[in-house]
Amino acid sequence: MKPLMLILLSLFVLLSTSPPVRADRIILPSYAQGSDLRGAIEARGRAISDVLAFVAGIVGIIGIIVGAIKMGAGDPEGGKRQVIWGALGILVAALAYGIAALVAGQ
């Protein structure tokens, strides 16, 4: 009980001696100052979906190139499978980007 009272007393002393926080010193984020939170969230979501679609498309293209190299190196079945999966990856990335753009209202 004694340690608890000591902690509460020290907390009270600390809070009572600290200077008050003035409202004009608080810096809010840009979306909170203009109350455009919805626009900021939509812009951030668009940026994230753009980057993810770009990365997925690049990975799909690399998959197609690797599959073509495999086919040329003498593994036609493995290369064919790699090319198909790469093309499907690009298709999924394009569909995801299109759905995200449709939902965002572009």
Q: What is the pLDDT of residues 24-55, one digit of tens each?
A: 667 766 666 666 677 777 788 888 888 888 89
Neighbouring CB atoms inside 10 A of 50's CB total: 13
Q: What percentage of the chain reaches a pLDDT higher than 90?
A: 30
Say which DSSP state 63 is in. H
Q: pTM score, two decimals?
A: 0.60
pLDDT given for residue 53 in this prediction: 87
Give the Å distances, CA to CA, from 40 to 58, 96, 98: 27, 21, 20
pLDDT given for residue 72 in this prediction: 92
pLDDT given for residue 73 in this prediction: 92
Predicted confidence (pLDDT) at residue 88 exceeds the cutoff of 90: yes
Contact call for residues 53 and 65 (beta carbons, < 8 A): no
Say which DSSP state 105 is in. T
pLDDT, the chain, mean: 82
